[in-house]
Structure 1
């Protein structure tokens, strides 16, 4: 069970409690689930009972108890406990790692996409500044990954991040995700514009403004990947990163570390095939840090979309890379050791981590090379 699955499971428990009359509250659009903090119980926790207590006219402990009853015997959950003033705490079953790896392998690089923002429509105000365009089109991609209808209202021609920029040349963001409104060409003037119906619809939607510290987009100096990372890794309201350190192939360079970790995951699969075995998660792998950050990925993407903060994705990719690089040395057999179920499972976990890194980099519009 992934954190996103757990969030939906708790939300369904709230809905069932409302439907059967145990709670009289408005069902929230989403339930926040986060990793249990030091000193906490289990793997994940939620404060949903505290959030609903006032509107329910009951104590948070009462609300938590009602939800706990409806969460017992949930597949994937070993235990649900109520602690403190009304926190729900969840312990996953021992095979949770296998469920996570299977979910990542099934979804591929789209792992973390969802429908939490379905029905949400966002149009960003006209943008002309280079960094604002890069951040906005990345936020659009994040919002769309969570089911929202999002677009840039207008792309100034010839500005980085507009349709037809130098990264793809075809008006699409990496991965084929259109970053702005669909355009048609006026046969008389050659101008590209939105269809009239879409223009009318967009004009009825209040434009959202992004507050972004300006910075130049310099792919000619840094290359497209380092240029984007420099603009996206810092919080939008902060200064962009200095680009020069991003060109150094060293562990102190976070962009290099993330892309290197991805390439290591790919090479581990190749090296394992040369040794005669393939990835297959058959036995539990004691890698709580790596499993934890991979499980958090859907929640990070959703939070980044909601807060218009691509930097959250970049920081999370760094955490995955660090966990994977610390774990990689356990994957392949050493010396005369024969490949075992443990090696196949570790390889499956490493492969899944590489897939998540590739998907996260794609969301940021940055390439994930097979070899560095």
Structure 2
């Protein structure tokens, strides 16, 4: 029995008691079920009696007595105890607990999916970059965590659009073009241009794609170098992210907001809402009306739109696409954006607490051999995403980024991440999956098959119960991680599950010894092993990490 199934059983017990006139309450729409801190207090606990006491006009313990009596009639419940002011501590029958393994195996890859966010349309923007160079260490954290969050939101029933914002407007694009042209001519890039070795590679690619480019007039040359270099560099960024298992539904170009009239439409919309002010020849948005520390200029006195104007136009574009919530995942140096982005939503007439979320991620450092890495082979002055993956591999980097709260600065220790030992978290979890796969292979080699069914009541060992309870928690872990936008909850759960499996395996023999004939207990434990393997695989998939069969 899963927590969700137990919650429904409790709700049914309340409904039966109310129908019989034992308590005068409306059955609750939902019931909270939690794991007690101490095993001696049972498998699960609920505070439903405390919630219903006022409505029932009775002390919480009196309500608890009524609900407990009804709940004890459920075949899946072995016992119910009343604790403290009226908590119900519930112990499941062995067969009900053991049935979880069967439910996991039958659900397969779908186990863990839930409908907690069903009906919500969410735009998730989690990487924003200039198409002027390789993706660097500043992009690595959100490339992993954002992709994992998208997977969690989808697994919890939301309709999610994963979006990459291309910063392709502004003077940096002209500097980019001038840098590539200089390399194509065998010259050094401008002092304020782009210096990395990758610029020379881009120049070669542009000359190959456009052999006639140097025959163009200088003005046309720069425009051609800008567009060809842009196309080549963006394609490289896309390929890098694909190899990192990070995929986007929308690649949104900033310059389309200007070329397509989006900025002008945004100003008109915000003016109609009554929050535009013309002052000193410029166009201002009164964001201080909604908590920003100062008003923001949308159009300068010279008629040039600001970056903030593009931010406003971009939000209104998302709004027009019909999203309930737009999530922005920004770097540690973007705290100042929180108030201004929420003010844009408020100025547009939306509820800023519902329509927009801003998640801030702290910095990442990479260390190897006791020292911090600061240079790239291609980019020169920054460590790139490709550099980090080359050092430790996609699995290790993604898992390590996902397992830490984004509120804290993260240090990626390459020496640890490449070590095959239990103190390497990704190895620890992947090894648990591979170990179970090995057990299942050995069983098949000895002619022991799981079969179509098993006796769930045989799974009554303390370590089996620990493992079953952990498996039952997985859907709730997924739902909570999605709701709170905390990807690390899944990784930490997987590490705890791996440890719980290892303790089970050490205490409970799965395969028969020597010439011993396999029995029903062996088959039941095979079901439990397969269920654990499936949950480990499902959890790793949510993190975009592979689940190896052999290690």
Q: Mark yes or no: TM-score above 0.5.
A: yes
Secondary structure of 1:34's aligned partner: coil
Cα RMSD for the two superposed structures: 3.6
Q: State the partner residue of 1:176.
A: none
Give the corresponding residue for 1:107: 107
The CA distance in 1 between the partners of 2:235 and 2:55, in whole Å, is 49
Instruction: Answer whether contact 2:126 2:143 (CA < 8 A) is retained.
Output: no
Match of 1:156 among 159, 165, 168: 165
Give the Å deviation of 1:127. Answer: 4.4
Question: Is residue 117–residue 156 contact of structure 2 (8 Å, CA) maintained in 1?
Answer: yes
Structure 2 equivalent of residue 295 of structure 1: 472
How far apart are 1:259 and its partner, in Å?
0.5
The reply on whether 1:206 has 2:326 as its aligned counterpart is no
Query: For each residue in 1:30-59, what CA deviation from the matched residue of structure 2 results, as whole angstroms up to 9, or x when unmatched?
Result: 433222332643211112333454566653
Look up the SS of the partner of 2:417 in the other structure.
Answer: helix
Aligned-residue offset at 1:336: 3.0
1:142 aligned to 2:158? Answer: no
Displacement, 1:197?
A: 9.6
Partners of 1:148 and 1:162 lie apart in 2 by 25
Q: Deviations over 1:92-121 (max 9, x none)?
A: 112124311110111112212122332344
- Within 5 Å, give how 1:299-338 maps onto structure 2: 299-329=476-506, 330-338=509-517
1:150 Cα deviation from its structure 2 partner? 3.8
**Cα displacement string for residues 196-236 of structure 1 (whole angstroms, at most 9, x for unaligned residues):** 89843127771211132233753233211111111111112
Who is 2:241 aligned against? Answer: 165
Task: Note closer, same or farther for the CA distance 1:119–1:25 as it changes in structure 2 (3 Å cut).
Answer: farther
**Aligned mate of 2:428, from 223, 248, 257:** 257
Aligned-partner Cα distance in 1 for 2:237–2:83: 48
Q: 1:348 aligns with which of 523, 527, 538?
A: 527
Higher strand share: 2
TM-score (norm 1): 0.82
Relative distance call for 1:51 and 1:182 in structure 2 (3 A) is farther
Distance 1:319 1:313 in 2: 10
Give the structure 1 partner of residue 47 of structure 2: 47
Given the superposition, is the C-alpha separation of residues 94 and 261 from structure 1 closer, same or farther in structure 2, using an over 3 Å criterion? same
In structure 2, C-alpha distance between the alignment counterparts of 1:161 and 1:215, rounded to whole Å: 20
Partner residue, 2:544: 365
Secondary structure class of the residue paired with 2:81: strand
Match of 1:219 in 2: 389
Pairs aligned (count): 356
CA contact 2:46–2:88 (8 Å) conserved in 1: yes
Q: What is the SS of the residue equivalent to 1:81? A: strand
Distance of aligned partners of 1:240 and 1:17 in 2 relative to their CA distance in 1, 3 Å threshold: farther
Structure 2, gaps ≥5 residues long: 129-137, 167-233, 260-313, 327-349, 366-384
What residue in structure 1 maps to residue 458 of structure 2? 284
C-alpha distance after superposition, 1:276-310 (max 9, x if no partner): 11125335121222222112212222221222111
Cα distance change on mapping 1:120 and 1:201 into 2, 3 Å: closer
Are the structure 2 counterparts of residues 97 and 65 from structure 1 closer, same or farther at C-alpha, using a change threshold of 3 Å? Answer: closer
Q: Is the 1:47–1:86 Cα contact (8 Å) retained in structure 2?
A: yes
1:232 maps to what in 2?
Answer: 402
CA distance in 2, matches of 1:161, 1:345: 48
Aligned twin of 2:82: 82
Aligned-partner Cα distance in 1 for 2:103–2:533: 14
- Helix, strand or coil for the counterpart of 1:208? strand
